[in-house]
Amino acid sequence: MTSKQHPDLHIEEERLDFTKRYIEVIVKTAETSKDQFRRIMQEMFGDEDWQESGRYTELLTTANFFDMSKAELENLKKARGKPYFARVDFTRDENQQEEVLYFGKTSLYQRESQEQIIVDWRSPIANLYYEGRIGPVAYEAEGEHFSGNISLKRQLMIEEGELTEIRDIDLTTTDELLQDSLAKSSSNRLTEIVSTIQEEQNKIIRADLNKPIIVQGAAGSGKTTIALHRISYFIYQYKETFDPRDLMILAPSRLFIDYISEALPELGVEKAKQFTFSEYVQFAIKKKLTIVPDKKLIQLLENKSEETQTAAWASGIKGSSTFKKVLDYFVGEIITRFFPSEDFYCDKYRLYSSKKFKKLLVDEYWYLPVYARVDKLKKILQSQVRSKKKIMLARITDTYDQKIQSALDKKGNPAVRKEYVSKCLDKKAERTADIQKAISTCVKQYFKHFEKKTVLEYYQELFSNPENLVTFSEGGINIEEAHKLCRYQSGLFIKKNYELEDLGPLLYLYALLFGVEKDKRARNIVIDEAQDYSFMQLQALKTASDTDMFTLVGDLAQGIYSYRGLEDWEEVHHSIFPRATYTELKKSYRTTVEIMNEANKLLELLPYRFPQVEPVVRHGDRPKFIQRINSEWGERLLNEMKTMKEQGLRTFAVIGKTAGDCREAYRVLQEMDEKVTLLEEEASIPKDQLVILPSYLAKGLEFDGVFAISLNETYSKQNDLDIKLLYVVMTRPLHRLYFIGEKASDFLFEE
Ligand SMILES: Nc1ncnc2c1ncn2[C@@H]1O[C@H](COP(=O)(O)OP(=O)(O)OP(=O)(O)O)[C@@H](O)[C@H]1O
């Protein structure tokens, strides 16, 4: 029903008018002076319409401005055009009083009357909107118990401050707002979905904030979106105690960070740090490294040479839990290098036994990074010297004073006595100087023998001895493999290069040996596309940040980096995040039924059991195959795009299997004078332009219309990687999917 026909139209319009004016009062007052509050109130509400209403008098008599934080004010300003999106009428059992609640992206209330003008979508009571049905409801949320009755659930569409539509939801109506929202065209950027969050998504957003969470979600199930909403919810819940800058979002590429950039301020989470894994590791270990471009995936697609196989194999080993064992063992061995061979002496005084030193190093300070333990022991010895300094010096003085005294007491030749006393005085001065010197140098001397190396030196050392790799892995790596791995690594080190797969072990080693500085550690980490992380990477992040507060979202069916990433969640769940809640999302919100049905067929070709993805019921055209003849395909593509544009669609992508096919497509389309952009890793996505990108870069992104192309490259059923890549491509479009190739079987179709 449009707003004009709704029986409550007048009530809702008046409410909106009131809310908008009240926001203006708050904003204006904050921008001028608090003393002006009453005057502004009169100005905003003093016109005839409002003077007649009882509400105006009430407002004025109770008017009393209260301070808002800068952030709250900013949120309120942002909310001016759309202060809320839903209304719920709820009667609590305990007092039988009906509350009329308006939910929006921020909260606003009148302090005196305690009336909530807008309730934040992240407050516990907003669960009534996301999960409650008309009728009796009862549930717990963050320790609060709700029981009562919902008599009205209403969605309110407001655009630029105007009420455009009112929709009452009851048991029988399907969620039209969701359908509308999904039917819209994409903007090339991720947006917030607060008004249409679904029950299963809401559960993840609000799942226990003190526990890690792992979400296996189908393509388009809203993983990225939900992860960002969960951050927003987290920041809201802990606004008093948690600095948003302690939150870190790890994304697969800068392209992806650009893609989510719009949703961040909308959700108030723009202060969270955003990194790629590679950027973060270099930041944390304070070293700028030369990382060789990650060509393995492409090489695996293009050729199966032994070199490529070795590279992929080495990646797998360096990311495995076996390698964690190697590093743990290695660090254990490094610690023994700090076992002193002798007790600690200052001059002739034994101040600390080596046994005690070892005990502290290994047992007492086990929780500290190795070098921090050594530093701690240094301080202990220094304080030991300081505390014994007086005694040591006093002993010297006493000894020589006694000698002198007894010489003076003796009768005898005065000349001899004099000489003896003078010698004693000299000796005393000499010994005192010795002790003074020893006091200032003994600690330094004692530690002089201990090594001081950088994390890179240690890492390179690890690969200098194949036998050690076998021992450290307790047989997990055999001697041939160890030799092969060492050879592979030395090929990198000679050129002062590292590869992405070295970063997990490096970070882990750094954390254990030196510890990541506090201001470089995150207290809460959100990882998107988590299936592409290796065991070692996740373990390293956990150890480095000293917390298990992670949100991991990913989809194993899109695990195109499985040679180095994860094949299942089990090991990660059990060994790294045992406290984690594991959840699955099977519904897809992005794609139409017709497209998803085709994509689902690919999952059946994979050797693992992936559940079929259930699309939210939204129909569209069936995917279309266009036969490629010479370069005339370019024209057909542009024609189809023109038609789509006429139908209101706005974002389009040509997705090739590899960069090679993309370059070829770029050449053809550019010649036709079309404005196209070839996307490289670090680029940002231009708005309203046709973009060409390879399949592996398209992961996580979405477009209204997608042209999957096969020019020189085809997809093969024999290769799981090909199947997964094609699956990624086919799950990118919101509305239309085209295949352009020589024959349908190039895209793994029967016909
Ligand atoms: N509850 C919802 N209401 C409206 N739109 C939604 C909802 N949930 C998801 N979407 C939309 O579905 C699309 C897919 O969401 P998103 O990109 O977060 O999914 P994903 O699981 O991360 O996908 P992928 O696996 O491809 O990375 C987005 O356009 C998002 O806005």
Instruction: Give tens-digit pLDDT for 519-577.
Output: 999 999 999 999 999 999 999 999 999 999 999 999 998 988 878 888 889 999 999 99
Residue 109's alpha-carbon distances to 41, 57, 116, 425, in angstroms, are: 15, 18, 4, 85
To test the ligand 1 pocket, which listed residue (215, 589, 614) has its Cβ within 8 A of the most ligand atoms?
A: 589
**Separation of 191 CA from ligand 1 center, angstroms?**
9
Is 217 flagged in the annotation as binding? yes
Nearest residue (by CA) to ligand 1, atom 29, is 590
Confidence of residue 38 (pLDDT cuts 50, 70, 90): low
Which residue reads 């799950």 in tokens?
A: 731
Is 132 labelled as part of a ligand binding site? no
More confident residue, 420 or 55: 420
Give the distance (Å) from ligand 1 centre to CA of residue 298.
Answer: 27
Mean pLDDT, residues 205-231 taken together: 93
pLDDT at 113 over 80: no
Cα separation of 83 and 160, whole Å? 10
For residue 317, the SS3 value is: helix
Contact (CB, 8 A) for 220 and 727: no
8 A C-beta contact, residue 572 and residue 566: yes
CA of 365 to the centre of ligand 1 (A): 46
pLDDT in tens, 260-276: 888 888 888 888 999 99
Give the DSSP letter string of 558-625. G-TTTTTS-S-SHHIIIII-TT-EEEEE-EESSS-HHHHHHHHHHHHHSSS--PPPEE-S---PPPEE
Whole-number Å distance, alpha carbon 585 to ligand 1 midpoint, is 11
pLDDT over 90 (residue 34)? no
In DSSP terms, 101 is beta-bridged to 88
Distance, CA 196 to ligand 1 centroid (Å)? 11
Q: Determine which of 139-153, 194-208, 240-254, 712-726 has the lowest per-residue pLDDT on average.
A: 139-153
Q: DSSP letter at 552?
A: E
Q: Using a 6 Å CB cutoff, which residues line ligand 1?
A: 178, 181-182, 191, 193, 196-198, 201, 217, 219-225, 555, 558, 589-590, 700, 702, 731
pLDDT at 224: 93
Confirm if 728 and 695 have CB atoms less than 8 A apart.
yes
Q: How many residues does the chain have?
A: 751
Q: Is the pLDDT of residue 141 over 80?
A: no
Residue 418 has pLDDT above 60, yes or no: yes
| Region 166-172 average pLDDT | 74
Which whole-number Å values give the CA distances from 722 to 114, 567, 694, 736, in the listed order?
Answer: 59, 16, 13, 21
| pLDDT mean over 580-603 | 92
Q: Which residue lies with its CA nearest to atom 25 of ligand 1?
A: 219
Residue 68 clears pLDDT 70, i.e. is over it: no
Provide, for the chain, the percentages of residues in helix, strand and coil under a 3-state DSSP scheme, each rounded to the nearest 5: 50, 15, 35
pLDDT greater than 60 at residue 252: yes
* Among protein residues, the one whose CA lies closest to atom 15 of ligand 1: 222
ipTM metric:
0.99
pLDDT band for position 142 (cuts 50, 70, 90): low
Average pLDDT over residues 687-704: 89
Pocket test for ligand 1, best of 177, 187, 225, 249 (most atoms within 8 A of CB): 225
CA distance 231 to 239: 12
Distance CA 706, CA 350 (A): 77
Q: Whole-angstrom Cα distance, residue 704 to residue 733?
A: 5
- Confirm whether residue 219 is marked as ligand binding: yes
138 is in an annotated binding site: no
CB-CB contact of 204 with 230 (8 Å)? yes
Q: Residue 524: in which H helix or E strand, if any?
A: strand 524-527
Q: How far is the CA of 224 from the centre of ligand 1 (A)?
A: 7
CA atoms within 13 A on the CB side of 751: 1
The one-character DSSP state at 363 is I
Mean pLDDT, the chain, rounded, equals 88
The answer on whether 61 is annotated among ligand-binding residues is no
pTM of the model: 0.88
pLDDT value at 1 more than 60:
no
> What is the Å distance from ligand 1's center to 223 Cα?
7
Domains of the chain, each with CATH number or no CATH: 8-192 (no CATH), 207-294+500-588 (3.40.50.300), 339-447 (no CATH), 593-747 (3.40.50.300)
Confidence label for 624 from pLDDT (cuts 50, 70 and 90): very high
Across 599-614, average pLDDT? 85
User: Tell me: the pLDDT tens digits for 313-370?
Assistant: 999 999 999 999 999 999 999 999 999 999 999 988 999 999 999 999 999 999 999 9
Mean pLDDT computed over 638-649: 93
Position 598 pLDDT exceeds 80: yes
Query: Where does residue 442 fall: left (phi above 0), alpha (psi -120 to 50 degrees), or beta otherwise?
Result: alpha
The contacts of residue 293 (CB under 8 Å, 6+ apart) are none
Is 218 among the annotated ligand-binding positions?
yes
Environment class of residue 481 by beta-carbon count within 10 Å: exposed (0-12), middle (13-18) or buried (19+)? middle
H and E: helices and strands count for the chain: 28, 23
